[in-house]
Amino acid sequence: MSDPFGFSWTRRKNGDVIIEHHGRRAAVLRGRKAEGFVDDVAVGSDQDVMARATGNYKRGNERESRNHLRNR
């Protein structure tokens, strides 16, 4: 699988975190989720953390779904 790319984030004065994907707003995190996100970005790969926060990541079942009845 390829690594996620194209994500960027900014933190507002009020603590909100805005995540953008290729220049378009993908998510806004507030409160505890925003604080946890900032902590996770400091520790891990920021692109992976942002992909997970927005739900834009591979789930591992793409190969299986290709063979599903509705996709034939």
d(CA 64, CA 21): 27
Residue 48: exposure state from Cβ atoms within 10 A (0-12, 13-18, ≥19)? middle
d(CA 9, CA 30): 13
pLDDT at 1 (0 to 100): 47
Looking up tokens 């891990």 gives: 44
Q: Is the predicted pLDDT of residue 70 greater than 80, yes or no?
A: no
Is residue 22 within 8 Å of 68, Cβ to Cβ? no
Residue 58 pLDDT level (bands cut at 50, 70, 90): low
d(CA 15, CA 28): 11
